[in-house]
Structure 1
Amino acid sequence: MPVTLPLKPWGFFHPDEKRDHQERIDIQNLVASLAELQHRLSAKDEDVSFLRHFLRSKDIQLLLRVFNKVSSYASLQLGASSDSAVSTGVSVYNTLRKHKHKPHVDELREIMAKPHFQALLYTHDKVACRDYEPKLFSLPHEVNEAEEAVKVVRIIKNEEPLGATIQRNEKKQSLEIARILRGGAADRSGLVHVGDEICEVNGTNVQGCDPKEVVQLLAKFSGPVTLKLFPADNNKGIMRESKIRLRALFDYDPFDDPIIPCPEAGLSFQKGDVLQIVSQEDPLWWQARKEGDSNLRAGLIPGKQLQERRTSSLLNGLRKEILGRPLLSDPRYSDASFHKNSTGHLSPCRISPQIPKSKKLKKTMYHVTQNQVYDSEEIITYEEVQLYYPKPEFPRPIVLVGPHGVGRNELKRRLMSSNTDKFQEVVPYTTRLKKPHELDGRDYHFVSRDEMEKGILLNRFVEYGEYKGNLYGSSIDSIKCVINSGKVCVLTPHTQALKFLRTADIKPYVIFIAPPSFEVLKNTRIEKNARHTVNDVPQPFTDEELQKMITTAKKMSIRYGHFFDKIIVNGQIEQAIKDLAHVVELVGKEPQYLPANWVQY
């Protein structure tokens, strides 16, 4: 029979709608009475204003509506009709087995035999019996003989550490919580605080134990862990999470660190990893997570102050062991190696660098006079970074560095020839005379010696040198000119030039071209008939020169590895150019973490 009457005639309200309507009226009456209440109670205007906004907020009204919904269902006193669904299911299944060769019966029997259906029946019985796990009993508030308050904390701990480090208080001769690791089980509970004294762990008295013994005891338990604690005298409050991101400039393994409070609580990382710093409250041991890691628990890492302190104590021994001798004792940098130019005064370019387009250079030493302030071995630990989104109109320069003979210039040539409209190299400066076939600004920028020396003294050149009485160099302005043109600038400077290139207005992407193993290096160079110039004569590489290339690459990685954004091994040149082209493509599209002062520039 068709329905002719409206389902909701005017004046009729659903019980829930009536209740909601009444709630709105009650709130309006309460807001209206605030003025009278203020007069009676002599309340402050700001308190009344806060209550008025609070009661009128949408969140409060929605919260009241949810409360009434839950209350209405609770009043129905719903419950399971039976707590033996599993046994009933078994009985029904056995009955169905007697009726064979009937499609509907077979289908029902197949459904009841599935583990998911059986698990559903099992869960029904557990809920009906209120058999919940783990069983959390009410915990009494205890008072010891000295009338000290004791709190009993129960933490649900899975296959994970407790998320707290423990130390011994020598003054009190007690075990205390030294720090709470963000995201760990102790932090999630919100009940354990720094300074709390540990008395018992799952009923075992740990007073007088060594912290390592307690850590081992906690590691044995999984599930509920009950801690009996004497609360700390002063609560340090909620630890606020930091927003700082740092790039690690060294490798770290907590299990190789003899002074870390708890290796299990440490966070291992490698050079180049970006770390989210969670807490720096302890200047010696920071808490951090790896950027992008799904694990919410923070780990301990050495603070900048601690890492610098112990690195400085090992620096001289490391330099002597790996680099052979202190940098400034190199005879190339002694006063005896400096010479005067033809005009009779001391030239600022005393050592010749690798200069673009100079295939006849006999020596390619980088001039370090203006770099001596940097070359005193910096102590490197962390670098603050921020996420940078590529700007197509100002592409980042691609800088290829590596040992002599590794193939940087060949990779550069192939990359640039792959797209001449996209890539461009820097036109160098020189003081030599222009040849008939050369054009100023295309082959070189031809300038006077006085003009170039003035620019050198003003630090306008990334690298420079002197060859056969003429100065050569690459200027910072030339690099910026390529960047502003919208093209990708490709450079192959000496590694020491990185200290001038790594600035906010250039933002280079540094790729280290590394040699492969000795066997692969030798075979590939023989296969490609590779040559290098010695005394203006092209010659094949000797075994000693190939081994020197590998050794030099290791030294470069040790001294300048914290500047490298990517490492490409140049074994097979075809694969290396593919890797290089792929990296360059990503640099122009994907966001990268750069030094914070670069992003803010």
Structure 2
Amino acid sequence: MRMLSRTENRGVCRLLSSVMSGTESHTDREEDYRFLNSMLMEKKLHLLFKIHERLKRFEKRSPIPVQEHAASLASELAEELINQGWTDEIKELVGLFSQPDFKSLLCVHDAVAQRTFEPTLPPIPDTVQEDDEDSVKIVSLVKTKDPLGATIKMDKSTGTIVVARIMRGGAADKSGLIHKGDELKEVNGVSLEHRKPKEILSLLARSQGEVRFTIIPASTREEMSSNKKLFMQALFDYDPNEDPTVPCKEAAVAFRKGDVLQIVTMEDDTWWQARHLGNTNDRAGLIPSQQLHERRVALQRPKALFKPRPVKPPVMDDVDYGAITGIHIAGLRRSFRLGRKSSWAREAARSRSWNTGAHSSVRPPTYKQVTPYHRDPKDPHRLVVLVGPSGVGVNELKRRLLLSDPDHYGVTVPHTTREKKRQENEGVDYNFVSISMFEEDILNQRFVEYGRYSGHYYGTSVDSVHKVMAEGKVCLLCVHPTKIKQVYNSEFKPYVVFVKPPCIEELHLTRRRVKFVCDEVNKNSVRVFSEEDFEDMITLAETMEKQYGHLIDKVIVNGDIVVAFRELKADLEKVQKAEVHWVPAEWNCSSSPTKARKSCGHLDSWI
């Protein structure tokens, strides 16, 4: 009870007098007024005001207790008096000390002197994390023969035990401390993690007298759920100084493609709030939302990929650099989509149809939700997937990586159904299998990619990727972007590198006459790059980046093969040494919650 000053006390007295006089005029008509007037006329109420006034005057003296342990001092004094002799005076004094009323008075004196009359809360259990201390509530209910009046169930999404219903009139309802949606963390100090509702019923059955619950209130659970850290990897560059539509340039955040951003809020459909990874103390800033960026890209006019130029002297494909250098690496084969000359034409035609057909409406890459992955030294290396349009030099980059460190990098050995040649070795040049076995693996989806050439099957199997990774090497894989999905999972955790061509002027300078292996019969045949081939390469690269940009981790522009190789090798070394890898959030899904959900059922349990 707050002590009032003398002025405040007079105000309360005047208020009390006015209320009394106001009720007197209604006592003859309303029963409630008569009751209120009789309560205000009670002598006990007026005595309380007098006591309050005396205490207020006493408080002004700032009294300090002379003794904080008067009860123990009286007990010691009684024992000492008894040892001194048993006179009438001592008998009377010892008898006074022994009276219950006197003992109680001394105990109250000590409680006031020590200020131990203030209520104390039970300690927070050690099992509660520090981040959750402010949101945890401890509720104690007296157990009777009647149920507590609530039902519990297991949350399907989190596996936690929550209050499903509160029954009106029950102990839980009357207490006003337990509500629907509250998460139960402990019962009588026993953690409920990974426990089923039936196990909790047995814990409650064994409880005697009092049941203590450790609870995360429903409102706090919702707030914690909404405040979970959300990380997005940017798939485009953004400079607020070049954005005339940003509400406030000073409040915006600039970022580059590949940057990881922590999203603070997504409440606005147009502008999200985010901060750069690691800058947790900095204020959040504005970034364009996914919806806004997609609308912007859709409204942009298609840009010319190149300017019409006269036809330059013919140049040739650089697909098979092994034919140029004379170096052959066992198991190093071109992607099977390049098996014939006609595949280039088909791919180029398909790229032109993408730009004018249904694929022109593909959603542009904006953001990708990511989560941190801490690689254990015992874990296999991440799969490295190299993609790019035909002729851009993907296989040459793979070849140079393999030659630079054959103990660290490895390539898969392809499967085929053709007959083994005399100079070829099983499991080194190819894995030779029967047609029936190959087709069975196709049905079982055991190939990353496959195709037919001259009546024979060729393909890269999932098992061959596993074999390279099991050797402790970084597996290098060249596939078409449409095949990335075959290995885009938490098992392989692929690091996808997109190799794109430079501008058409650089292509004229860098793609000189090279040998292109059209088929196995005529290995010395030469194919010449035309102007249309260069245009198709650039068009296909832009289409690939637009359609599969959300899967790409690194972009390498292969203008100069030496520069591109150095950049690629340095980037892969940086990835291998990184303590934290930011991978798609979907890879972080665990199967354990599924098991928990299967075991929880859909019924509530009565407590």
TM-score between both structures, scaled by the size of structure 1:
0.49
Higher RCO (CA-CA < 8 Å; seq separation 6+): 2
TM-score between both structures, scaled by the size of structure 2:
0.49
Query: Which protein shows a greater Rg?
Result: 2
